[in-house]
């Protein structure tokens, strides 16, 4: 069903596009013969000031028909009789209107939703871990850690490192209610485990899911989700180094398979 949304979206984009052509044609003096909503065949239309305003059968956007667009008319009001600048404005007006529509919609979304901010959540708590002892649950949202407001995974990790072996107050939001907890991060966590979780070689401690706002004009209305473990930083760095090394090795192997060698130009007589 979601795929059907493309129909009204395209209809609006095309209609706004054609409105741009219509308005620009009137401004530069190009005679508009017909402005139609929908695509032919025509259901009905009315003529005003020499322009036919029509409603058409196929409800997908619209169209503008101007004098001279077929290249056969060179009357003063035809498109062919206008200067290059005027024709360029007329042709590009539709695309400019689509850009303007996108800007207006994104500005409206920012105004309605407000500026987006990153939130950090507990995704999973390992059994017999400091996080479980503190009463953390999956879906809890971090508000403050050690009295500091947190909006990123890196902040949670850094503060946890600073409080290794010390009681650390953590304020969570659970089902709309504020929950005050206290956790004691491990001073010497086992290899492959973090300071607040039970040892598990293949995984970190509590998974944290955050939403990161996109950069640019639409940063307050577009987001992506990423998952990161709050655990041993050295383990994460080691995995990243191994990943880069594997990518470099794969690139070398691909060059060997292609047989890339220095090219020597051939001499032809």
Catalytic residue (choose from 18, 149, 182, 257) = 18
Burial of 62 (0-12, 13-18, 19+ CB in 10 A): buried
Distances (CA, A) of 225 to 34, 209, 222: 48, 7, 10
For helices 6-28 and 84-113, the axis angle rounded to 10 degrees is 140
69 catalytic per annotation:
no
Burial of 30 (0-12, 13-18, 19+ CB in 10 A): buried
In the chain, count of helices (H) and strands (E)? 5, 9
Token representation of residue 133: 């002892």
Token representation of residue 12: 């609006």
Residues marked active site are found at 18
């Amino acid at each position: 069903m979601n795929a059907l949304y493309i129909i009204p979206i395209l209809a609006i984009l095309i209609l706004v596009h054609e409105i741009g052509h219509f308005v620009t044609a009137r401004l530069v003096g190009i005679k508009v013969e017909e402005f139609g909503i929908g695509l032919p065949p025509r259901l009905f239309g009315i003529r005003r000031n020499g322009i036919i305003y029509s409603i058409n059968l196929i409800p997908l956007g619209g169209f503008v028909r101007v004098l001279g667009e077929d290249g056969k008319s060179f009357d003063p009001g035809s498109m062919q009789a206008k200067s290059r600048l005027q024709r360029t404005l007329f042709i590009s007006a539709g695309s400019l209107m689509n850009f303007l529509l996108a800007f207006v919609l994104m500005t409206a979304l920012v105004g309605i939703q407000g500026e987006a901010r990153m939130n950090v959540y507990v995704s999973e708590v390992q059994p017999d871990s400091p996080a479980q002892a503190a009463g953390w649950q999956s879906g809890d949202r971090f508000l403050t850690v050690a009295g500091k407001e947190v909006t990123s995974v890196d902040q949670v990790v850094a503060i946890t490192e600073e409080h290794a072996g010390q009681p650390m107050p953590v304020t969570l939001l659970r089902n709309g209610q504020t929950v005050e907890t206290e956790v004691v991060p491990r001073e010497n966590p086992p290899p492959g485990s973090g300071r607040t979780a039970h040892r598990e070689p293949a995984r970190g401690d509590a998974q944290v899911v955050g939403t990161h706002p996109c950069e640019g004009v639409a940063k307050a209305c577009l987001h992506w989700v990423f998952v990161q473990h709050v655990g041993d930083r050295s383990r994460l760095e080691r995995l990243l180094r191994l990943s880069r090394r594997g990518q470099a090795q794969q690139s070398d192997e691909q060059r060997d398979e292609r047989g890339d060698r220095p090219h020597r130009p051939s001499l032809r007589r």
